[in-house]
């Protein structure tokens, strides 16, 4: 078991920042709508190049599982829980009931989770069965932007999503409000909706869906 130099709050905030940037950008690039999504406390991501993963958050723990179809581990079909064997039982149960349910595959007629690495949080501390560089190589890279310092992440997200200055202003404003009161529903003003810079109502609907997943409504 290896201690990873990340923390739970940093990861959650990074996931929220990336989700807000994504929700803004899909108004221009709806073809990338599947790259980020929230389902309750489960944050899922994929890169459209064979990498996907889900991280589940709760009050005391988090657990993340990743599958990289380009990994040398693909095809060996190791029991997914082997990647969490030193995690507390509560974490393993959380993984089984939540995160791993998003990474199921049909292997010889059996529907099982297929992953190539994982990590978990106990309170703020993060652990993995793999050393950091191995965990990162086999799927953890999907959280690259989510684990940066916030200002660096904003710069990276601005470039990645080709965000305008108005869109970056909206990103920063919504992020600040979201992390200060995570449970509070945010209602966008008409002025803020215009900052999304959607080309038409159909494009805006993709943005609306992504925003509503994180408790932000028009």
Q: Can you give the residue ranges of every domain in the chain?
A: 2-217
pLDDT band at 148 (very low <50, low <70, confident <90, very high): very high
Over 80: is that where the pLDDT of 42 sits? yes
Q: Tell me: the pLDDT tens digits for 64-88?
A: 999 999 999 998 777 999 999 999 9
pLDDT at 13: 98
The pLDDT value recorded for residue 107 is 87
DSSP per-residue codes, the chain: -EEEEEEHHHHHHHHHHHHHHHHHHTTT-GGGGGGEEEETTEEEEE-SSSEEEEEEE-SSEEEEEEEETTSTTTTS---GGGGGTTS-HHHHHHHHHTGGGGSEEEETTEEEE--SEEEEEETTEEEESS-HHHHHHTTGGGGTGGGS-HHHHHHHHHHHHT--HHHHHHHHHHHHHHHHSTTSPEE--HHHHHHT--SSHHHHHHHHHHHHTTTEE-
The predicted model scores a pTM of 0.94
| Residue (of 189, 192, 182, 167) closest to 215 by Cα position | 182
pLDDT category of residue 159 using cuts at 50, 70 and 90: very high
């Amino acid at each position: 078991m290896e201690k990873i130099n990340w923390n739970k709050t940093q990861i959650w905030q990074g996931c929220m920042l990336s989700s807000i940037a994504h929700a803004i950008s899909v108004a221009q690039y709806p073809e990338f709508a599947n790259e980020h999504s929230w389902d309750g406390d489960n944050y899922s991501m994929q890169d459209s190049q064979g990498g996907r993963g889900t991280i589940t958050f709760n009050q005391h723990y988090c657990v993340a599982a990743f599958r990289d179809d380009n990994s040398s581990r693909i095809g060996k079909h190791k029991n997914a829980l082997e990647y969490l064997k030193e995690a507390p039982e509560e974490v393993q149960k959380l993984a089984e009931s939540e995160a791993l349910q998003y990474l199921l595959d049909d292997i010889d007629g059996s529907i099982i989770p297929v992953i190539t690495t994982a990590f978990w949080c106990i309170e703020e501390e993060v652990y993995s069965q793999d050393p950091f560089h191995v965990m990162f190589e086999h799927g953890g890279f999907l959280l690259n932007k989510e684990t940066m310092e916030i200002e660096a992440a904003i710069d990276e997200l601005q470039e990645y999503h080709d965000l305008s200055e108005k869109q970056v202003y909206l990103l920063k404003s919504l992020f600040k409000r979201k992390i200060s009161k995570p449970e509070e529903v945010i209602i966008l003003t008409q002025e803020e909706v215009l900052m999304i810079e959607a080309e038409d109502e159909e494009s805006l609907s993709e943005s609306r869906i992504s925003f509503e997943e994180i408790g932000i409504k028009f």
